[in-house]
A and B are shown apart, each in its own frame.
Chain A
Amino acid sequence: MAKYKKIESFLPLTHTTYYILLALISPAHGYGIMQEVKAITHGEIALGPGTLYGALSKLTKQGLITKLEEFATNRRKYYTLTPLGRQVVKAEYERIKSLVENSSELIQGLEGEDE
C-alpha cells in the first residue's frame, strides 16, 4: 500500500482520471471502464487504450484503485476504488461543486451582458 498521502495532494484530477474513478465506484475491467466513461459523458469521451492502461497502472501505484485478482476473467482484470480512492473522488466532486456554486451568480451576470 502506498504511503499515507493527503487527499488534497491528488487534486485537481484530470478529466480522464475523474471519469475513470467514477466508473470504478463498482468493479469493472478495462473494456467496462471505456463503455462506462462513454455513457457517463454521453459519448463525449472515448478513452484510448494507451491513456486507459497508463491511468490504471498509475492509479494502482498511487493506491486509489486496486486490482481484484479473484474476479479475473481470462486476461481482463477487474479494478475497484480503494477507501482512499473513494475519498479522493468525493473531495474532487466537492471541489468542483463549490467552484460552480461560488461562481454561478457572477457568471449569470456575464451571460446577461453578452446578449
Chain B
Amino acid sequence: MMSQAKKVLKMFPVWQMEEEEQWLSRMAQQGWQLTGCLPVIPVYIFEEQKSHSAVFKIDLQPELRKKDRGEYKQVFADSGWEFIIKRGDRYYFQGEGTELMSQDIYTDKPSKLERYKKQTTLLSMLAFIFCLNGVVHFLGEKPPFNFMKYIDGLGLLITLYGLTKLKLKMRGIARQQK
C-alpha cells in the first residue's frame, strides 16, 4: 500500500526556529514524517508513517559551500542526527532515541550565540532594504505606487520586532550557566 503524503503551507519567520522544530516533532508524533519541501514557497511535504517520537533541529548555514556539504552532514550523522532536507540556507536534521532528546546540536555558549547572530545579520539586511525602499518610495511618489511606503513601513516594523525577539533570546543565553 502506498503511504499517503500531504503538503502543508506554513510560514515560520527566522526568529521562530525553535517553534518550527517543535511543530515538526508534533507532526511526527501524529504520524506525519517530514520528507521534503517545495522550493521558494514555505510548503512542507509529509508522508504518513507510524506515530513516532523524533526531535528536529534546524541549522542555518548561509556560508556552507557545496563541496563541504558532505562533510558537514557526516559530522551530524556521527552524532546521531540524520539529514532530512535543505531549504534555502536551512538544513533540517532529525534525531531519535532518548539520548538525543535532551541534547542540542550547539553545546557551548559562544556557538549558541553565534547561531542567533547569523539570524540577526539576515534580518538586519532585510530591515536595511525596507529602510532604503521606504526612502525611495517616499521621495518618488507616483500615483500607482504611492502606497508602497506603507508596505515598507510594515516590513520594517515586522523585521524590527523579529530583531527584538532575537536580542531577548541572546540575552537569555548569555545569562545561562553554561
Contacts and interface: CB of A to CB of B under 8 A. Distances in A.
Contact of A55 (B72, B79, B111): B111
B70 interface: yes
B76 A49 contact: yes
Contacts of A54: 106, 111, 114
Contact of B78 (A49, A50, A55): A49
A50 B108 contact: no
B95 to A, nearest CB: 10
A50 B70 contact: no
A83 to B, nearest CB: 24
B74 A30 contact: yes
Given A16-B111, A30-B78, A53 B103 contact: no
Nearest to B59: A50
Interface string B76-88: 1011010000000
A48 B103 contact: yes
Interface of B: 57, 59, 63, 68, 70-76, 78-79, 81, 103-108, 110-111, 114-115
Contacts of A25: none
A45 B108 CA distance: 9
B71 A50 contact: no
A46 B103 contact: yes
Contacts of B108: 14-16, 51
Contacts of A48: 79, 103-107, 111
23 contacts: A15-B108, A31-B75, A34-B78, A45-B107, A46-B103, A47-B107, A48-B79, A48-B103, A48-B104, A48-B105, A48-B106, A48-B107, A48-B111, A49-B76, A49-B81, A49-B105, A50-B106, A51-B105, A51-B111, A53-B75, A54-B106, A74-B74, A76-B78
